[in-house]
Amino acid sequence: MTDYSKLTDLELAALLNESDELAYTEIYNRYKGVLYLHAYSRLKNVEEVNDMIQELFAKLWDKRKTLVLKTNLSNYLYTAVRNRVIDFITHKKIESDYISGFQQFINQGEAATDHLLREKELSRIIEDEIQSLPSKMRQVFELSRKKNHSHREIAYELTLSEKTVKKHVNNALKILRVKLGSLIALMLILLH
């Protein structure tokens, strides 16, 4: 009976090519611990490292008949683990970047939506207050602020004096300032 623990990696690899389960078990027992430590030192995640090592040995068994070692068995296994660690880290970084970007998109969308809702509500409140102005004052104010007509154009259109137009606009702003607060009134002034 062969003592597999005394065989070299090269001999174990040759037996593995012949589907020798005891050779596979010896390779597993010989390298499982050091490969685990190697991967864990990089990932610090017990579950991921366990899965990675199990997957590595499962693939080793699946490819046993076609396995051609260009170097020795230990180099092959270390390289395989290193590549899996790199793939895992790369995948996690991509995943993290995607999640971060998606969260930022959601946050911007929420902020934009919130901003639009507030803007719409503010516009509605301002419009309601403008509609509650006395008729002639409202008409003058809308021509001034919404249609951007000059005082002269409004005076001509409504057959009023420019002084009367100016008075209507100033009175409308005073009323709106009281009702809406000076900040909103300032916004109305800036819109013109």
- Dist. CA 19–CA 64, nearest whole Å: 7
**Beta strands of 61-178 (E only): which ranges?**
none
**50-73 tens-digit pLDDT:** 999 999 999 999 999 988 877 788
Q: Which two tokens stand for residue 155?
A: 């005076």
Q: Categorize the per-residue pLDDT at 192 as very low, low, confident or very high, splitting at 50, 70 and 90.
A: very low
Per the listing, tokens 């396995």 go with: 67
Q: Structural domains in the chain?
A: 4-97 (1.10.1740.10), 132-191 (1.10.10)
Rounded distance, CA 187 to CA 141, Å?
Answer: 14
Query: What Rg value do the Cα atoms of the chain yield, rounded?
Result: 39
What's the CA gap between 19 and 133, in Å, rounded?
Answer: 93
DSSP for 164-183, please give it. HHHHHHHHHHHHHHHHH-HH
Give the model confidence (pLDDT) of 29-38 as tens digits.
999 999 999 9
Tens-place pLDDT, residues 122-173: 677 778 778 888 888 888 888 887 788 888 888 888 888 889 988 988 888 7
Residue closest to 76 by CA, chosen among 20, 27, 19 = 27
DSSP annotation string for 56-114: HHHHHHHTTTT---SS-HHHHHHHHHHHHHHHHHHHHHHHHHHHHHHHHHHHHHHHHHH
Q: Please give the pLDDT value at position 111.
A: 59
